Structure 1
């Protein structure tokens, strides 16, 4: 059969909703017009309801997990039941299923039990990262350079996924977009999560700054609390900020300083310190949330015997400064905020 898009696949699967459930959610059972099971990973139980027939409430194949408020369609069921990450694999499995005679549909509980990876967990993040490649020569590299970030040394924590699965909400079709995948690790380097930035394959524009034209082009998964996307290996000095692009912008003028992106103000406030750290630069975003994160982090650092110094942008954040004011201005404003002993140690000279 020809390869249909995600919406068409979901619709075709919905026409065989009970057969899909019997194959991939074999630990459940039919009750009336619904299939009941524990969750999309085929756990025994009754909290997840899959609609088996079209109704005024929605089309066949849509499901909701009452225990977690998760929802989706039968493509999500295939993905979660088999522990798949890449949408190409999900689509291939769906196409294979749709080509099978009804008499050949057999439960797949055994396969599920050995490959399942619950959505949003560190294990799901590890599987996602395993499907990625380096950013060199990809849309990720172009995206960063278009945001003024030319210093891409030591960015092994950033990866490229050409077709990353995206679902805006329960009633919208599944989409695939190229994405920058950032690896989240603990201070010891253990992978704990991943962050996705979906990108626009049609190029860079000033409205979205290269991100895909979708409602939520950034999402994180896994264990984020206290952890971060890390660039360089910290010794006694490091910098920590919120966004990946913000931190990488500062790294353009402080190329030898280890840095960490905590991905949000709330997570920046809880970032864990390496045991060797003696001075922490807090890369502040210029908004109330950034102020709150800075205050909390200063208090935690001082309590741990770590000197905390705030680096503040002129505009909204350091990437905005880099794009709007230029690298020479960024270098100048950073220089006057550094501890004197760190100017010669870390600040890059003008080219």
Structure 2
């Protein structure tokens, strides 16, 4: 006999597009899929929900995959994340209301909500990939970063290189996409420094650019609250979304510890290290970046942490670095830093 959760998930799958329009409203339909940034309804196109069963029977309606994190699940997971539920009972009641089904009396459905399903996205898998990679110095990954005007990699032990990292083809990839490419590997760690995930940037075979694949950047493992860390935590730090954004700021402030959250949603959820008193937030110039800054500020105030935004001139600080050079980037940052921090962290004449 099927469980209530399975039965309701099947019913939701029959109305997959309506579920997505309700709970993933910041996404949009493309063909047989609904595209959105992640299961928390962030704008973007990393997560795709199958709206109709595939003709060959291999893909069921209502199933979703996040190409960046490797997470996957069904529409009950979507509802749980969208509504912030902590128990399966809450999610099933919400789904019944959506489907206009009667809500039964209390039962054993109040167990803590299951974690999103993952196949290869576990911390253990991430740790294996991290261990199999090599130091970045002298690698194609270093060459790739140099092409983005990122030269100084002191204190960037979180970055490594894998010469042949497996790539799982996604919707949008060409049929003959390479199954493996060289990749820059970044360790995603918790506050204690334990590797909880990795971020992969697949590269062209000559390291001149990212690989020509649909999703050249993906993360795996447990990302929520964690990040890619550069330098030891201190009372003053800087955080942002992208790895290249943080590395660009370190070209002019190499002593300022930094955290890359990897996405706006994950930036908003980073855990604050003990002793942190001021956090500069290098936000991307878009609505998701504005939302991350707002959420961080709301979380930081009760903890006694000052949030100071850093605004790029273009879309992000790597674009600024590549377009204007170090000296101009330093000028842009200097105007936004607290005077004491500018004197301590900003390289003179960068």
Q: TM-score, normalised by structure 1?
A: 0.65
* Aligned equivalents of 2:203, 2:139: Cα separation in 1: 11
Q: Give the Å deviation of 1:65.
A: 8.7
Q: Give the Å deviation of 1:169.
A: 3.0
Does residue 1:149 correspond to 2:153, yes or no? no
* Aligned equivalents of 1:69, 1:318: Cα separation in 2: 32
Q: Which moved more, 1:161-170 or 1:247-256?
A: 161-170
Q: Give the Å deviation of 1:57.
A: 2.9
2:123 is matched with which residue? 122
1:272 is matched with which residue? 271
Structure number with larger C-alpha Rg: 1
Does residue 1:193 correspond to 2:194, yes or no? no
- Cα 1:179–1:65 shift into 2, 3 Å: farther
SS class of match (1:350):
coil
Q: Which runs of 5+ in 1 are unaligned?
A: 1-55, 71-116, 205-209
Question: Residues 164 and 177 of structure 1 are in contact (CA less than 8 Å); yes or no, is this contact kept in structure 2?
Answer: yes
Matches within 5 A, 1:152-163: 152-163=153-164
Number of positions where the alignment pairs a residue of Structure 1 with one of Structure 2: 241
* Aligned equivalents of 1:273, 1:118: Cα separation in 2: 29
* Aligned equivalents of 1:258, 1:126: Cα separation in 2: 23
Question: Residues 118 and 124 of structure 1 are in contact (CA less than 8 Å); yes or no, is this contact kept in structure 2?
Answer: no
Q: Give the Å deviation of 1:350.
A: 1.5
Q: Give the Å deviation of 1:226.
A: 0.7
- Cα 1:67–1:324 shift into 2, 3 Å: closer
1:289 is matched with which residue? 288
- Deviation per CA, 1:142-201: give whole Å up to 9, x if none: 011110111100111011000000121389466110000110001111111111100011
Matches within 5 A, 1:88-103: none
* Aligned equivalents of 1:325, 1:257: Cα separation in 2: 21
Q: Which runs of 5+ in 2 are unaligned?
A: 1-54, 66-117
Question: Residues 234 and 257 of structure 1 are in contact (CA less than 8 Å); yes or no, is this contact kept in structure 2?
Answer: no
* Aligned equivalents of 1:236, 1:295: Cα separation in 2: 21
